[in-house]
Amino acid sequence: MPAGGTPVSSIRNLGPAFEQACVRAGIPDAETLRALGADAAYARLLAAGERPHFIAYYVLHMALQGRPWNDCKGAEKAALRRDFDAIKARQAPTPDAIPPDLSRFLRDIGLTR
C-alpha cells in the first residue's frame, strides 16, 4: 500500500481478504476504491480474476455508502442485481476467445498459426 493510503479493510464491512483482492486488482487503498466507485472497482476485481458474487457486489455498494452490509433490500437490491449482471456480462469472455497463454502454447506446439 502506498505511504499515507488508508487500508481498504478500514471501510466498514470490508475485511482483509477483500483488501487483498483489491490490491491484486490494482486498488491499493481506500482512497482509490472510493474514487473508482463500486461498479468500476468491482469490474476491476473481476478482470483480475475474482469470481463474481452478487453478495460481495452489494456489500461493496453498502460499504462505500457507510451502510450495514445487509441494508440492501427490495427495489434497490433488484436494481443492484441488474447492474451486477451487466458488469459480469461485460467481463465474460466470448465463447470463441482463447486466453493469450493458451493461444501462444497452441502456436508453439504447431496446432495454430
pLDDT number for residue 111: 79
pLDDT number for residue 105: 83
| 1 found inside a domain | no
List the grid coordinates of 9. Answer: 479493510
Strand segments, DSSP code E, in 1-113 are none
Write out the residue range of the structural domain in which residue 63 sits: 8-108
Summarised one tens digit per residue, pLDDT across range 38-71 is: 999 999 999 998 999 999 999 999 999 999 999 9
Cα atoms found within 13 Å of the Cα of residue 89, Cβ hemisphere only:
6
Q: For the chain, how many structural domains are there in total?
A: 1
pTM (2 decimals)? 0.77
Give the domain CATH number at 45.
Answer: 1.10.150.20
Rounded average pLDDT over 63-88: 95
Rounded average pLDDT over 9-29: 96
| 12 found inside a domain | yes
